[in-house]
C-alpha cells in the first residue's frame, strides 16, 4: 500500500506542473533562462571581465614601453648648464616619467580589480564601485600643493 501512495504523490506533483527547486531562491522571469527578478536582465560574462583586465594590462605595458623609449632618448643629454632648452627638456621628462609611472600603477590596480571580478564573479556592484573609487582617489590628479584638481 505504501508504494501506491508514493505513486499517487508523484502523479499529483507532476500534474500541478510545479517548478523545480531553485537554489538561489529567486524566481526566473519570462525574458529568458539567464535572467531573474534580481538582475533585471543584466548578464555578466567572466570572459568580458577578464578581457577588460587584459586590455588594461596591455595599456600598462604600452605605457611602460613608451616611458622606456623616452628614458632612452634622454641618454647623452649631459650637463644642461647654459642650455635652457636641454634643462627644460630634462624637467619635462622627469615630470612625465613620474606621471606615466602613476598611470601604470593605476592601470595595474584596475587590472587586478577587473580580473578578480572575472575570476570570482562574487563581488557586488557596490563592492566593485568601492574598489574603483579607492583607485580613483589614490591616483587622482593633484596640483603642486597636493590638492585634487578635479580631473
Say whether pLDDT at 58 is over 70: yes
pTM for the whole thing?
A: 0.57
Domains of the chain, by residue range, sit at 45-142+147-151
Q: Would you mind telling me the total number of residues written for the chain in this entry?
A: 151
Going by C-alpha positions, the residue among 120, 143, 150, 136 that lies closest to residue 49 is 120
Grid coordinates given for 97: 616619467
Q: How confident is the model at residue 35 (pLDDT cuts 50, 70, 90)?
A: very low
pLDDT at residue 16, rounded to an integer:
67
pLDDT at residue 145, rounded to an integer:
61
Q: How confident is the model at residue 61 (pLDDT cuts 50, 70, 90)?
A: very high
pLDDT at residue 2, rounded to an integer:
65
pLDDT at residue 76, rounded to an integer:
75
- Residue carrying C-alpha cell 595599456: 59
CA 44/CA 118 separation, integer angstroms? 9
Is the distance from CB of 71 to CB of 101 less than 8 angstroms?
A: no
CA 117/CA 95 separation, integer angstroms? 33
pLDDT at residue 20, rounded to an integer:
56
pLDDT at residue 147, rounded to an integer:
62
CA 132/CA 134 separation, integer angstroms? 5
Amino acid at each position: 500500500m505504501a508504494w501506491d501512495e508514493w505513486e499517487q504523490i508523484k502523479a499529483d506533483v507532476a500534474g500541478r506542473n510545479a517548478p523545480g527547486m531553485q537554489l538561489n531562491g529567486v524566481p526566473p522571469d519570462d525574458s529568458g533562462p539567464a535572467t531573474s527578478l534580481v538582475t533585471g536582465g543584466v548578464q555578466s560574462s567572466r570572459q568580458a571581465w577578464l578581457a577588460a583586465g587584459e586590455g588594461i594590462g596591455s595599456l600598462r605595458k604600452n605605457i611602460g614601453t613608451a616611458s622606456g623609449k623616452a628614458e632612452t632618448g634622454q641618454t647623452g643629454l649631459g650637463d644642461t648648464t647654459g642650455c635652457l632648452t636641454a634643462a627644460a627638456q630634462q624637467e619635462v621628462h622627469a615630470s612625465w616619467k613620474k606621471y606615466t609611472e602613476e598611470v601604470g600603477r593605476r592601470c595595474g590596480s584596475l587590472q587586478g580589480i577587473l580580473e578578480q571580478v572575472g575570476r570570482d564573479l562574487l563581488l557586488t556592484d557596490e563592492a566593485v564601485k568601492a574598489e574603483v573609487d579607492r583607485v580613483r582617489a589614490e591616483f587622482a590628479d593633484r596640483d603642486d600643493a597636493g590638492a585634487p584638481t578635479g580631473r
